[in-house]
Amino acid sequence: METSIWQEYNQDEVITIGIINTSNQNQINAFVQENSITFPILFDPGSPGGVQGGDTYDDYYMPNDGSPYPRDFIIDQEGVIQYANNEIDFQWMLYVIDELISSNSYTLGDINSDGFIDILDIVLLVNIILGILDPTDIQENASDINNDGVINILDVVQIVNMILS
């Protein structure tokens, strides 16, 4: 988790958080030191103190036959859980993360993400400006073509210029 995900992906806006269900700070420190962990470790409230239970643990309980730990979750840019596993499977986790990162990429002007900048993108852009369309993050990013932080008529002018040039 530390090297494969946290150190590898923190440049790409992937945040790694550990949730540990003990209130014993010495135990947390020992765990952090033993595993050379640099990502944040949060305490799960509601844990009775030993290494068991906790509010978050209970909320996201997954029945299984083996060890109750760890629980690995990957949450996407919209806050939706895309991965949940009670076995460590880095290969699978990395696959999911790569998919999520690439789906978040956009090209300025290609608002419908079809690989072309054309009249369809202008239609979407106008609908966004008129408030008819509530844009996704990707659409929003692709729409601010002159990169001034607002989506307005100037971006329409710019996209028309892109198409004509």
Interface residues with Ca ion (CB under 5 A) are 110, 112, 114, 116, 121, 144, 146, 148, 155
Specify the residue, 66 or 115, whose C-beta has the smaller distance to Ca ion. 115
The distance of closest approach from Cβ of residue 158 to Ca ion in the complex, given in angstroms and rounded to an integer, is: 8
Written in H, E and C, the secondary structure of 114-158 is CCCCCHHHHHHHHHHHCCCCCCCHHHHHHHCCCCCCCCCHHHHHH
CA angle, 77 as apex, 75 and 83 as ends, to 5°? 25
Minimal distance, residue 145 CB to Ca ion, in Å? 6
The structure tokens 């509010």 sit at 55
For residue 145, count CB atoms less than 10 angstroms from its CB and return exposed for 0-12, middle for 13-18, buried for 19 or more. Answer: buried
In the complex with Ca ion, the residue whose CB is nearer, 4 or 112, is 112
- Taking the complex as a whole, how short is the minimal distance between the CB of residue 6 and Ca ion, in angstroms? 34
Find out whether 74 and 6 touch, Cβ atoms under 8 Å.
no
Q: Which is nearer to Ca ion, 98 or 114 (CB)?
A: 114
* Angstrom distance (rounded) from CA 66 to CA 162: 57
For Ca ion, the closer CB: 77 or 146? 146
Q: Which is nearer to Ca ion, 42 or 120 (CB)?
A: 120
**Distance in Å, CB of 94 to Ca ion, minimum:** 29
